Amino acid sequence: MSTASTLQDADVSLYLHAELLPNIRQITLYVSLPQTPALEGIRPQIQLSESCKSVTVSLSEPFHHVAETVKLPARVTDATRRVLNINTAASDHRKPASPGYEYSVRMHIDPSDPVLAPRDELIDDYVPWTAADMSSSTRIRCRGCGTAFLKESGPHSVELNDQSLLPGWLWKDLPSGNWAEMMDFWHCHKPDPHEDNPKSEATAALKLEDQSAQIKGYGASSRVEAISGTVLIDVATFLLSDEDCVSLKKGNEEEATTSTPEGSFERTLECATCNSIIGMEDPSARGWRLLKANVSLNAKILNSGSDGEHWQSHPTQMIVAAQLLELIERESARRFVVHFGQKSGLLLWVFNPDLRYSNSSLDHNVNTQQAMKVFFQETREIDKLLAPEIGNPSPLSVEELELPSMVYEALFEALHGSNQMLPPTARQFNEWQVGLLSRFSRTQAT
């Protein structure tokens, strides 16, 4: 066998990964090759498309048949063409511990590209399935076997084509955590007039306000409760009355899970057909919570307004990403202790809440993806991070996110899986591992 034939038969492949860096108006392109002796001295050749929106990377002889194309997260300047080959030839970043050869180049973004326009990275389109996506005919079913969990018809009548009335369901978004905190603050710091003064107008006004608050549901002692015929929606769950649900059964008491100090989640809810865990009961809300990550819906096709048998579901990591983004917006925190009621868990640092990237992996779309770049590490001392001993302050300011065990496991797998998807030199940052969590975008869902 000739030397050329041996080289062509070698296991040679290209892996491309591009990340948008809006703060410095550049895109970093990583080119990874396997550590094969035949590739010693081989430099990848990068060609920019006419539209400046994608690149094609190929190898020279005898590997001219090896090539990959990836769409860039943004349009780059035409002047990039002149420096691509020069930068590539001088950018061998292979490390001794890396499993292959790796090159990286920086490309300048076209100043006119919309991706550089100012925007809010936490705009309210990061939450999958809100009330705006639902209709009276929307139904919830098991993501695994397709068993329906809502009764065939709801108690509310809705007009159809001005001719008939059909029973349907009401869908309402729950207020964010900011709303509850604002109410708590107001009730703790409202004026404290002397009640023994009958002429006190402030006293009368406050009494009237307290009565109104209890009626309207924002009093200090008020709480969210499930309502028959209405599905209440928060970032991660649907809250329903148990009498509106079918084909769900309670799990064993020894499998009970606790999500809050008050023990609001006491027992799991399982699909009566396939025994998959679907949610948990919430005694404090007098209802059942169904996990968005474990169900599918025939929600309206976004921005079309049409209903039908278009069933959709979302990855678990996307639901958790929405929870993290909501905490970032509400608490202005970037570091989180994530666990499922055990002493061990994950310490997360959301380094970039809104990352745009693309790569050539088989399980990813060739188009640009939207994600969160997360630094993570496993920890067995979550109690010390959340409640440090007196005189021993926590080295980090962290927020807590407790997840059901199955959601935590899916998050764990997603972080480690995305870590392996990254180029070898981008998988570690000091003592942190680097991962990506896909985040929901209403524009990409259309």
CATH classification of the domain holding 95: 2.60.40
Residue 445 has pLDDT above 70, yes or no: no
Within this chain, do residues 143 and 249 fall inside the same structural domain, yes or no? yes
Domain assignment present for 125: no
Please give the average per-residue pLDDT across 397-413, as a whole number.
Answer: 93
Q: Is there a contact between 83 and 53 (Cβ–Cβ < 8 Å)? A: no
Give the span between the Cα atoms of 241 and 228, in whole angstroms.
5
pLDDT score for 267:
87
Please say which residue of 189, 216, 243 terminates a domain: 216
Q: What is the CA radius of gyration of the chain?
A: 27
Domain with residue 232: its CATH number is: 2.170.150.20
Query: If you write DSSP's letter for every residue of 239-258 in order, what string do you get?
Result: EE-GGGB-SEEE--GGG---
Residue 96 has pLDDT above 50, yes or no: no
Question: Comparing C-alpha atoms, which of 274, 282, 286, 285 is closest to residue 249?
Answer: 274
User: What is the token pair recorded at 329?
Assistant: 């917006």
pLDDT score for 357:
94
pLDDT score for 189:
58
Domain assignment present for 260: yes
Domain count, the chain: 4
Within this chain, do residues 208 and 243 fall inside the same structural domain, yes or no? no
Mean pLDDT of the chain: 79
Residue 331 has pLDDT above 70, yes or no: yes
Within this chain, do residues 46 and 75 fall inside the same structural domain, yes or no? yes
User: What is the token pair recorded at 115?
Assistant: 């991706």
- Give pLDDT tens digits for 262-315: 444 568 999 999 999 999 999 989 999 999 999 999 866 444 445 556 889 999
Within this chain, do residues 170 and 181 fall inside the same structural domain, yes or no? no
Domain assignment present for 40: yes
Kind and range of the H or E run holding 415: helix 405-421
Please say which residue of 93, 116, 139 terminates a domain: 116
Domain assignment present for 285: yes
- Give pLDDT tens digits for 138-164: 899 999 999 999 987 666 555 545 444
Please say which residue of 164, 191, 216 terminates a domain: 216
Within this chain, do residues 258 and 203 fall inside the same structural domain, yes or no? no
Give the span between the Cα atoms of 371 and 352, in whole angstroms.
9
Residue 92 has pLDDT above 80, yes or no: no
Within this chain, do residues 368 and 237 fall inside the same structural domain, yes or no? no
Least confident span in 36-45, 163-172, 187-196, 326-335: 187-196
Domain assignment present for 362: yes
- Residue 119's CB: how many other CB atoms inside 10 A? 11
Domain assignment present for 123: no
Within this chain, do residues 352 and 279 fall inside the same structural domain, yes or no? no
Question: Comparing C-alpha atoms, which of 186, 182, 151 is closest to residue 169?
Answer: 151
Within this chain, do residues 84 and 209 fall inside the same structural domain, yes or no? no
Domain assignment present for 264: yes
Q: Is there a contact between 52 and 75 (Cβ–Cβ < 8 Å)? A: yes
Find which of 132-141, 209-218, 386-395, 399-408 is predicted with most confidence, using mean pLDDT. Answer: 399-408
Within this chain, do residues 255 and 332 fall inside the same structural domain, yes or no? no
Within this chain, do residues 247 and 389 fall inside the same structural domain, yes or no? no
Nearby residues of 38 by Cβ (< 8 Å), 6 or more positions away: 6, 7, 10, 12
- Domain encompassing residue 193: 177-216
Single-letter residue type at 311 = W
Within this chain, do residues 169 and 266 fall inside the same structural domain, yes or no? yes
Within this chain, do residues 289 and 367 fall inside the same structural domain, yes or no? no
